[in-house]
Copies of this chain bind each other. A is one copy, B any other.
Amino acid sequence: MTKVNVHVTLRESVVDPQGIATKEALQTMGYNEVENVRIGKLIELELTGSASEIDARVKEMCDKLLVNKVIEDYRYEIGEVAGK
């Protein structure tokens, strides 16, 4: 089994109201060192299949379903074989 972590983030020029509100809350709580917060998604996939294919297949899944490219960017890491 292979584990893939897909990091989905909002494109830079898209406003992130969640991030802004979270930043403000952190600042109110005294964390004034926080300059910026952006909130994205972390999609963890567990896949069977040959390691050689995984890269292309995951890219396809991202493009077709997991990521909305109008507003989001993504990157992923193909991880270790999950040990169980």
Q: Please measure, in the bound complex, the distance between the C-alpha atom of A42 and the C-alpha atom of B41, giving whole angstroms.
A: 5
Given the interface contacts A40-B42, A41-B40, does A33 sit within 8 Å of B7 by beta carbon?
A: no
**Pairwise interchain contact B38-A44, C-beta atoms closer than 8 A:** yes
Residue A78 interfacial (CB < 8 Å): no
**Pairwise interchain contact B39-A43, C-beta atoms closer than 8 A:** yes
Residue count of chain A within 8 Å CB distance of chain B: 32
**Pairwise interchain contact A9-B42, C-beta atoms closer than 8 A:** yes
Q: Which residues of B contact A70 (CB under 8 A)?
A: none
**Pairwise interchain contact A45-B39, C-beta atoms closer than 8 A:** no
Given the interface contacts A39-B42, A40-B44, does A33 sit within 8 Å of B57 by beta carbon?
A: yes
Q: Please measure, in the bound complex, the distance between the C-alpha atom of A8 and the C-alpha atom of B39, giving whole angstroms.
A: 11
Question: A residues within 8 Å of B by Cβ?
Answer: 1, 5, 7-9, 22, 25-26, 29, 31, 33-49, 57, 61, 64-66
